[in-house]
Amino acid sequence: MKKAMSRSDRLFEWGIDAFLIGVLVVTLVPMWYVAMVSLLPFGKSPSLFLPPWEWSFASYAQLIFQPTIWQATLNSLILTFGGVAISLTLTVMAAYPLSRRELPGRGFIVGLILFTFLFNAGLIPTFLVVKDLGLLNSYWAVLLNGAVSVYNLLVMKTFFQSLPESLEEAARIDGANDWQILRHVVLPLSRPILLTIGLFYGVANWNNFFEPILFLSDRNLMPLPVVLRDILTGLNVAEYVEGGAAQAAPAEALKMAAVVLITLPMLLVYPWIQRYFTKGVLLGSVKE
Amino acid sequence: MLLPGLLYFLIFRYWPLWNAQIAFRDFQPTLGVWGSPWVGLQHFLEFFNSYYFGQLLTNTLVISLAKIVLGIPPAILLAIALHETSRRFLARVVQTISYLPHFLSWVIVYGILLAMLSPSEGLVNSGLRALGLEPVPFLTSTTTFQPVVVLSEVWKETGWSAILFLAALLSINPTLYEAAAIDGASRWQQVRHISLPGIMDVLVLVLLLKIGSILDAGFHQIFVLYSLPVYSVGDIIDTWVYRQGIQNFQFSLATAVGLFKGIIGLVLIVVANRLARRFVGTGLY
């Protein structure tokens, strides 16, 4: 039986829905406007809606034909996929032993790791380590320095702890060693968490701009976010604007096209990965 | 199996701790960490007595506090709205869209901000001009820089922060709402007397942890957004450390400042975690 709603309840529902629509508008309008500006033809001023006969892909064309963009895309892919591979491997290999109750000194090691989460020595001492290791101006600096996130490590450890121990005991009786148990028993059961944390690492690496700036000086090594930042601050817009102003895109359009180009991969995969992220946050918020 | 992970922490987390001793030395690259002469607390005193100390601390605290005060209410409101609406489709769409900005890097958000706020072509300034007002250089004016920093953070993170509150709302026993409805409570009264108390624990936890990390005002964000004209209001401890250390080669001074921040931060977060464990029963670790 559905009860008729009172006036105040109906008002309440309207208010709630209006607020949600407001959130939608506030979130989407800036992104929509970026897309509109990126499609701006030369000599027009931006507006929230472009009439269909005024679109122009000139800005995208100009960016896509730049070798710098291709090089940066390649760099970003190396850093993203290489980073995920290294990070995930290291995180699993640390989280699995730490999830075993029989590991000697387990509490001490977890404490050691937790401490680095609460206190870090700061930027300069870390920079000096990378410098002393001779990793400056090499991808290894970026790939290794941020390789393990303590947060992800602890989430993974909690997940491993929740797996039934009897499975591993059975494997051990069958003569499997630790590596075999990890590969053939634990990892196949851990697909959701591997995917979630792999995605966390992937997004972080794709977005990473500070470490490349800090550790790399060779311009050819820079990933997309760094190149985007240079374009936005107008450092090298000239590089992308060729002669022949007639077909050229306005500088504003060029900047926004760069924003769209780097956001696009994220937007394309986002609808599929979104639920994993939510799961990851909720997993992280559940403590032992 | 544990070895690679342990090595990682020893090399990239504990070796820097060892290097942090240069805060108490006069670090010279040619002499190395070991060879540089000891100077005791000189760098700390230099910083405490400098004109920067007050400014950096003020900027850091003001930006950080404003982010907490203006960031949490919208997140709670969004969580409640998502929980209360009877339009499931709308709720799903809003949820998906509102998380999205969290996954955009600050460089991309900077691009979006330029589109919205640039004095020449920005949407907001076009609006202001249409109203006959003067355009405002939002990102380079000392009066507007801090609001831009805070509001852009709210724009980026509100959806994401709402997840925890939403999870708390979903864990409330639905019979409470049914009982209240039978007793004649209006929807608003149900929110006030059931939903809000139901998320109190999470709210206290979130607040305590935010206050525990109050010296982190958002390094990456400000690093991307700020520029010379707004250093006076935008410079926070972390950005200053970067400029003095990496750009001006003041390794020892910058390390001392970073260490100062780290120690205060450690104390704050440990205290916050204690309090959270005591009052909410759970903490960060």
- B101, A27 in Cβ contact below 8 A? yes
| Chain B residue with Cα closest to A213 | B246
Lowest mean pLDDT among A44-53, B157-166, B273-282: A44-53
Q: Is the pLDDT of residue A139 over 60?
A: yes
Contact A122 B265 (CB under 8 A): no
Q: Is the pLDDT of residue B31 over 90?
A: no
For A259, residues 6+ apart whose C-beta sits below 8 A from its C-beta are A34, A38, A228, A232, B108, B111, B112, B115
**Across chain A, which distance is largest between two alpha carbons, in Å?**
76
Q: Is the pLDDT of residue B214 over 70?
A: yes
CA distances in angstroms from A32 to A50, B62, B127, B141, listed in the order given: 11, 31, 16, 26
| Chain B residue with Cα closest to A18 | B81
The answer to whether residue A266 neighbours chain B at the CB level (below 8 Å) is yes
B19 contacts in chain A (CB < 8 Å) = 121, 124-126, 128-129
Residue type, A164: P
Contact B246 A129 (CB under 8 A): no
A232 contacts in chain B (CB < 8 Å) = 107, 110-111, 114
pLDDT at B71: 96
Select the residue from A14, A16, A90, A228 to test the B interface by mutation, using most B Cβ atoms within 10 A.
A16
Nearest in space to A124 (alpha carbons), one of B86, B20, B273 = B20
pLDDT at A240: 63
The answer to whether residue A172 neighbours chain B at the CB level (below 8 Å) is no
For A203, residues 6+ apart whose C-beta sits below 8 A from its C-beta are A266, B103
Q: What is the mean pLDDT of residues B250-255?
A: 93
CB burial of residue A108 (10 Å; 0-12, 13-18, 19+): exposed
Contact B81 A20 (CB under 8 A): yes
User: Mean pLDDT score of chain B, rounded to an integer?
Assistant: 92
Q: What is the mean pLDDT of residues A208-215?
A: 94
Contact B121 A37 (CB under 8 A): yes
ipTM for the predicted complex: 0.90
Phi and psi at A246, nearest 5°, equal -60, -45
Structure tokens at B113: 């901000």
Q: Which residues of A186-201 are buried (b: 16+ CB within 10 A; e: fewer)?
A: beeebeebbebbbbbb
The answer to whether residue A138 neighbours chain B at the CB level (below 8 Å) is no
Residue type, A66: Q
User: Pick from B8, B94, B242: which is nearest to A23 by CB?
Assistant: B94
* Chain A residues 36-95 within an 8 A CB cutoff of chain B: 37, 45-48, 89-91, 93-94
pLDDT at A288: 38
Contact A27 B98 (CB under 8 A): yes
Contact A128 B251 (CB under 8 A): yes
Q: Is the pLDDT of residue A103 over 60?
A: yes
User: Pick from B84, B105, B285: which is nearest to A207 by CB?
Assistant: B105
pLDDT at B232: 94
pLDDT at A45: 77
Q: What is the pLDDT of residues B65-104, one digit of tens each?
A: 999 999 999 999 999 999 999 999 999 999 999 999 999 9
User: Pick from A96, A144, A278: which is nearest to B1 by CB?
Assistant: A96
pLDDT at B40: 87
The terminus-to-terminus CA distance of chain B in angstroms comes to 24
The answer to whether residue A24 neighbours chain B at the CB level (below 8 Å) is yes
A17 contacts in chain B (CB < 8 Å) = 85, 87, 90
The answer to whether residue A114 neighbours chain B at the CB level (below 8 Å) is yes
Percent of chain A with pLDDT over 90: 50
How far apart (Å, rounded) are the C-alpha atoms in residues B104 and B99? 10
pLDDT at A244: 47
pLDDT at A246: 46
User: Pick from A89, A116, A282: which is nearest to B167 by CB?
Assistant: A282
- Rounded (10°) CA dihedral A104, A107, A109, A113: 160
Q: Is the pLDDT of residue A287 over 60?
A: no
CA of A232, closest CA in chain B: separation in Å? 7
Q: What is the mean pLDDT of residues A266-279?
A: 82
Write down the pTM of the prediction.
0.91
User: Pick from B11, B116, B186: which is nearest to A33 by CB?
Assistant: B116
How far apart (Å, rounded) are the C-alpha atoms in residues A40 and A62? 13
User: Pick from B12, B78, B96: which is nearest to A274 by CB?
Assistant: B96
Q: What is the pLDDT of residues B188-205, one digit of tens each?
A: 999 999 999 999 989 998
pLDDT at A175: 86
- B117, A44 in Cβ contact below 8 A? no
User: Pick from A13, A125, A278: which is nearest to B16 by CB?
Assistant: A125
